[in-house]
Structure 1
Amino acid sequence: MGTVSSRLPVFPWDRLEPYKSTAAAYADGIVDLSVGTPVDPVPALVRSALTDAADSPGYPTVWGTAALRDAITGWAGKRLGATDLEHTNVLPVVGSKELVAWLPTQLGLGAGDRVAYPRLAYPTYEVGARLAGAEPVVYDDPWELDPAGLKLLWLNSPSNPTGRVLSADELRRTVAWAREHGVLLFSDECYIELGWEADPVSVLHPDVCGGSYDGIVAVHSLSKRSNLAGYRAAFLVGDAEVLGELLLIRKHGGMMIPAPVQAATVAALGDTEHVGEQRERYARRRTALREALEAAGFRVEHSEASLYLWATRDESCWDTVGDLAKRGILVAPGDFYGSAGEHFVRVAFTATDERVDEAVRRLAQ
């Protein structure tokens, strides 16, 4: 009997370790622009909420506190334009990666079922399909998919890795197609607060979904918006029947957000000032890195949103990774996200101002 891990691809970041060692040996150290992990402080009001709730000896609930559900529905209404949300339309999750990886399994998918995701995509969509024993399928335009056996369709706008934003028309067309064919649609919108040259629209906006959440669920996270990657704070919004079924399963699995993190999430969703401050930090870093990359002969494609620049010199991504590593800069090879990315690298602008400035200096050499 084969192991479950044998169904999975090689963990991509392990392949980057030799290049990380090369970059780390550079004078004045590595500038790590690969993973895209937040480096700026957790907002003070969020830390205060966490510590104020630290005396939490009892078990939290999978569905979260009523205050948390109020905060999610309130935020989704104000920020996403979602209408008429009830508590049954929301579900907290333990970070979005856990949800993506285990969703097909929790939906009961398996052999003979198909899970579709963009040709260039976050690798965990494929991992989730393979963990469940389902067939992973990539697409360029979702409405051109063969719907036979297709049980789950992933959208990702703004995209990781490319930063591409789907228009309201593209989203509307996809929602209509999925409903016509009875395909459950999950939209990963974790970068929606980080639009630069476009204003990302949620699949939950009434102009897209027609005011109905039937067959659609949006995935959101506070990791990037509020520097809470270490807190594992995320949530789903959408179809009450789908979320109700997931809630039942996740209760049995004990998939609970810790009570102090729930309190911190409430604080984070209730404040927009820290989001604006963080956007300003990222905007400065993005501009500096983009100008430096283009001056160094790179072409940046898409990248109108998210925390990444999708850059190419029309060569193998590993040649680019190797060359930049010799300059002490570590980036992610595009083929981590699918073979269509083999000539691109993903450059995160999540490093500190000092490290970004150092990367700019090195790129000019």
Structure 2
Amino acid sequence: MSAVSSRLPVFPWDKLEPYKATALAHPDGIVDLSVGTPVDPVPPLIQEALVAAADSPGYPTVWGTPALRDALTGWCGRRLGATGFAHENVLPVVGSKELVAWLPTQLGLGAGDKVAYPRLAYPTYEVGARLCGAEAVVYDDPTELDPAGLKLLWLNSPSNPTGKVLPKDELTRIVAWAREHGVLVFSDECYLELGWEADPVSVLHPDVCGGSYEGIVAVHSLSKRSNLAGYRAAFVAGDAAVLGELLQIRKHGGMMTAAPVQAATVAALGDDTHVAEQRARYAARRAALKGALEAHGFRIEHSEASLYLWATRDEPCWDTVAYLAEKGILVAPGDFYGEAGARFVRVAFTATDERVDAAVKRLG
């Protein structure tokens, strides 16, 4: 048996363990700003919906309940501006990371095919390409790529790790280029609700796609907007032909969102109040950390959206990681996201208010 894991890069987070040990030794404990995992409570109305659906002895469906599909199509229209959406335009998935990692395989890609993603990017885009044996290609501007053999183009706006937002006209230009060359676009928009100095736009907005979803799919997650990382609640929306094919494949694979999670998703997408409340928490933490880092001599680039600050002291990123670890603050090195991040660190503002305050004091 050949080890599939041999195709994959070393799991990057394992490299942080020595620095985590240093940060843990701080007298006041660690401030872990390395992973963007939610720490605030799941909103009560979502918990209540989950509990109410707990008596679910039967198998859920891969496509989800009609109520879930109604919630997904309704939210895409209300929040993203998508028009003419039907149930065929949406598909729930078991967390967005699962989708990103296995999408090239489920699309039937393999040797000789290319999967493209931003030069600075979430590492799972590369993992997905490697799992199916396709060639991983990075870009600064996707329209400068050779479209020959290019089967899947990943967009990510707002970006993880940089927080960069692609303007509407840029998205429009990229979508038009991809359609001209028959390249399928998947747009990872999981941080779209978290714009601070920019207003992120979906590829599903009619100004971008012209009211047609041919060749485009958006990826969305409830992990950040609703503190549901533990629920694995996400979905894809867009081209009905692409989603129909994925639905058939995922039925065979048994890739079902748990029934209580489907009910919780309906509740989460039907309520905007908890999203605004969580945004306010993140906005305060972001302002505190940004001010403290800048006062300490860091430069913040991009970071106009998402849950991260893309920061540099103009030194190798691991030197910065070590420096902050001595202060009991753990951050992610920029080279986790590509060689272009070698002099940056990604600072998450997903810690509690108390831990963020501790980091601010240590940087003061």
Q: Give the shorter-chain TM-score range.
A: over 0.9
Matching of residue 333 in structure 1 with residue 333 in structure 2: yes
Residue 48 of structure 2: aligned partner: 48
Residue 39 of structure 1 aligns to a residue in which SS?
A: coil
Residue 112 of structure 2: aligned partner: 112
Residue 277 of structure 1 aligns to a residue in which SS?
A: helix
Residue 291 of structure 1: aligned partner: 291
One-letter code aligned to 1:301? E
In structure 1, stretches of 5+ residues that fail to align are none
Deviations 1:53-106 (A, max 9, x none): 000000000000000000000000000000000000000000000000000000
Residue 26 of structure 1 aligns to a residue in which SS?
A: coil
Deviations 1:250-306 (A, max 9, x none): 000000000000000000000000000000000000000000000000000000000
Matching of residue 311 in structure 1 with residue 306 in structure 2: no
Residue 264 of structure 1: aligned partner: 264
Matching of residue 79 in structure 1 with residue 72 in structure 2: no
One-letter code aligned to 1:167? P
Residue 100 of structure 2: aligned partner: 100
Residue 226 of structure 2: aligned partner: 226
Give me the whole-angstrom Cα distance separating, in 1, the residues matched to 2:174 and 2:3: 36
Give me the whole-angstrom Cα distance separating, in 2, the residues matched to 1:256 and 1:338: 32
Per the normalisation by structure 2, the TM-score is 1.00
Residue 67 of structure 1: aligned partner: 67
Give me the whole-angstrom Cα distance separating, in 1, the residues matched to 2:215 and 2:30: 45
In structure 2, stretches of 5+ residues that fail to align are none
For 1:12-161, what aligned pairs fall within 5 Å after superposition?
12-161=12-161
One-letter code aligned to 2:235? F
Residue 275 of structure 1: aligned partner: 275
Residue 250 of structure 1: aligned partner: 250
Residue 77 of structure 1 aligns to a residue in which SS?
A: helix
Give me the whole-angstrom Cα distance separating, in 2, the residues matched to 1:120 and 1:93: 25
One-letter code aligned to 1:360? V
Detail structure 1 runs of 4+ shifted over 2 Å in the superposition. none
Residue 321 of structure 1: aligned partner: 321
Residue 256 of structure 1 aligns to a residue in which SS?
A: coil
Percent sequence identity is 84
Deviations 1:110-151 (A, max 9, x none): 000000000000000000000000000000001001001000
Residue 240 of structure 1: aligned partner: 240
Residue 163 of structure 1: aligned partner: 163
Residue 193 of structure 1 aligns to a residue in which SS?
A: coil
Residue 130 of structure 1 aligns to a residue in which SS?
A: helix
Give me the whole-angstrom Cα distance separating, in 2, the residues matched to 1:109 and 1:17: 35
One-letter code aligned to 1:351? A
Residue 5 of structure 1: aligned partner: 5
TM-superposed CA distance for 1:2, in Å, is: 3.7
Residue 191 of structure 1: aligned partner: 191
One-letter code aligned to 1:112? G
Residue 311 of structure 1 aligns to a residue in which SS?
A: strand
Residue 213 of structure 1 aligns to a residue in which SS?
A: coil
Give me the whole-angstrom Cα distance separating, in 1, the residues matched to 2:15 and 2:246: 34
Residue 92 of structure 1 aligns to a residue in which SS?
A: strand
Residue 360 of structure 1: aligned partner: 360
Per the normalisation by structure 1, the TM-score is 0.99
Q: How many matched pairs?
A: 364
One-letter code aligned to 2:37? T
Give me the whole-angstrom Cα distance separating, in 2, the residues matched to 1:322 and 1:148: 43
TM-superposed CA distance for 1:347, in Å, is: 0.1
Residue 276 of structure 2 aligns to a residue in which SS?
A: helix
Give me the whole-angstrom Cα distance separating, in 1, the residues matched to 2:117 and 2:226: 26
Give me the whole-angstrom Cα distance separating, in 2, the residues matched to 1:41 and 1:264: 14
Give me the whole-angstrom Cα distance separating, in 1, the residues matched to 2:244 and 2:177: 24
TM-superposed CA distance for 1:3, in Å, is: 1.2
Give me the whole-angstrom Cα distance separating, in 2, the residues matched to 1:2 and 1:338: 27
What is the aligned-residue RMSD (CA, Å)? 0.5
Give me the whole-angstrom Cα distance separating, in 1, the residues matched to 2:127 and 2:251: 23
Matching of residue 180 in structure 1 with residue 199 in structure 2: no
Give me the whole-angstrom Cα distance separating, in 1, the residues matched to 2:47 and 2:65: 18
TM-superposed CA distance for 1:28, in Å, is: 1.2
Give me the whole-angstrom Cα distance separating, in 2, the residues matched to 1:176 and 1:186: 14
One-letter code aligned to 2:206? P
Deviations 1:320-342 (A, max 9, x none): 00000000000000000000000
Give me the whole-angstrom Cα distance separating, in 2, the residues matched to 1:21 and 1:43: 33
